[in-house]
């Protein structure tokens, strides 16, 4: 069984927790050299094989081991993976019109992308700058995933299970960043692809953005050290 060394995060240049509220697109992150996750991924894949973290079970095991190595816990993941349904019920399911629209957007964006002949860059061979279609392809699912996470954290906070306000705002911030970047990418695709489909996707994001901002009014102002503000 793979184990990550406890001193993995001892490098003083690392920004503690910078990975908690990032979009996980390490190839284009300015903080990648100061984040423990890429280092841990390389170490893990050297033992388990390149690409192993695309497997959900392997990724879950990696997340738990990384948390142990940096002195954190994974209560939500532990509950979701528990054989006891009472533990799984501790993580509330998300339900909101904003999430419904985000999921609809994800489906429509995927149909548009693959219908236009786009294919994601393979493996680690990504271009120096992502193409507009690559940006849309990366964020179209992430937006809904982070809205779902923010809603779940909000429910946990409201019901007194645990105060997850910071996680709620951080997750919502990532969703809003994804919306901003996907909208910018779609604007660049106007005139190059199916104009009707592009306009519909832009309308969906234009509708979704104020919904998310209304649900999580502090999300825009939430500061993520190392991402929204420099760390010396």
Percent of the chain with pLDDT over 90: 68
What is the per-residue pLDDT for 172?
98
User: What is the DSSP secondary structure assignment for residue 9, as one 8-state letter?
Assistant: G
**Domains parsed from the chain with CATH numbers:** 14-88 (no CATH), 97-215 (1.20.120.230)
Residues 6+ apart with CB under 8 A from 45: 51, 52, 53
Q: How far apart are CA 142 and CA 148, in angstroms?
A: 10
Residues 6+ apart with CB under 8 A from 162: 75, 156
* CB under 8 A, 24+ apart: contacts of 70-77: 70/8, 70/9, 70/16, 70/36, 71/9, 75/162, 76/152
- Enter the tokens of residue 178: 């994804």
Neighbours of 221 (CB within 10 A): 9
Percent of the chain with pLDDT over 70: 96
pLDDT tens sequence across 45-65: 998 988 888 898 899 889 999
What is the per-residue pLDDT for 82?
79
Which has the higher per-residue pLDDT, 174 or 47? 174
Q: Is the pLDDT of residue 76 over 90?
A: no
User: Please, what is the average pLDDT of the chain?
Assistant: 91
Asked whether the beta carbons of 134 and 165 are under 8 A apart, the reply is no
Q: Is the pLDDT of residue 79 over 80?
A: no
Asked whether the beta carbons of 2 and 42 are under 8 A apart, the reply is no
Q: How far apart are CA 185 and CA 134, in angstroms?
A: 9
- Enter the tokens of residue 68: 């142990």
What is the per-residue pLDDT for 1?
63
Residues 6+ apart with CB under 8 A from 148: 94, 99
Please give the C-alpha separations between residue 80 and each of 45, 77, 160, in angstroms, as whole numbers.
24, 5, 19
What is the per-residue pLDDT for 74?
87
pLDDT average, residue stretch 158-172 = 92
């Amino acid at each position: 069984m793979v184990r990550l060394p406890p001193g993995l995060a001892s490098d003083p240049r690392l920004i503690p927790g910078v990975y908690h509220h990032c979009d996980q697109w390490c190839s284009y992150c300015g903080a990648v050299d100061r984040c423990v996750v890429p280092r841990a991924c390389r170490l893990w894949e050297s033992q388990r094989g390149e690409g192993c973290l695309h497997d959900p079970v392997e990724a879950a095991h990696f997340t738990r081991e990384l948390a142990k190595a940096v002195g954190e816990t994974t209560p939500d993941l532990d509950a979701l993976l528990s054989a006891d349904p009472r533990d799984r019920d501790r993580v509330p399911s998300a339900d909101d019109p904003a999430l419904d629209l985000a999921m609809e957007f994800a489906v429509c964006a995927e149909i548009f992308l693959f219908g236009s002949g786009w294919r994601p860059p393979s493996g680690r061979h990504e271009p120096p700058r992502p193409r507009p279609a690559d940006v849309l392809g990366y964020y179209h699912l992430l937006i809904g995933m982070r809205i779902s996470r923010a809603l779940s954290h909000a429910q946990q906070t409201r019901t007194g299970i645990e105060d997850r306000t910071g996680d709620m705002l951080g997750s919502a911030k990532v969703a809003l960043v994804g919306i901003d970047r996907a909208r910018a990418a779609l604007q660049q695709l106007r005139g190059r692809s199916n104009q009707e489909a592009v306009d519909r996707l832009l309308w969906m994001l234009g509708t979704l953005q104020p919904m998310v901002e209304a649900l999580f009014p502090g999300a825009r102002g939430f500061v993520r050290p190392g991402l929204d503000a420099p760390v010396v």
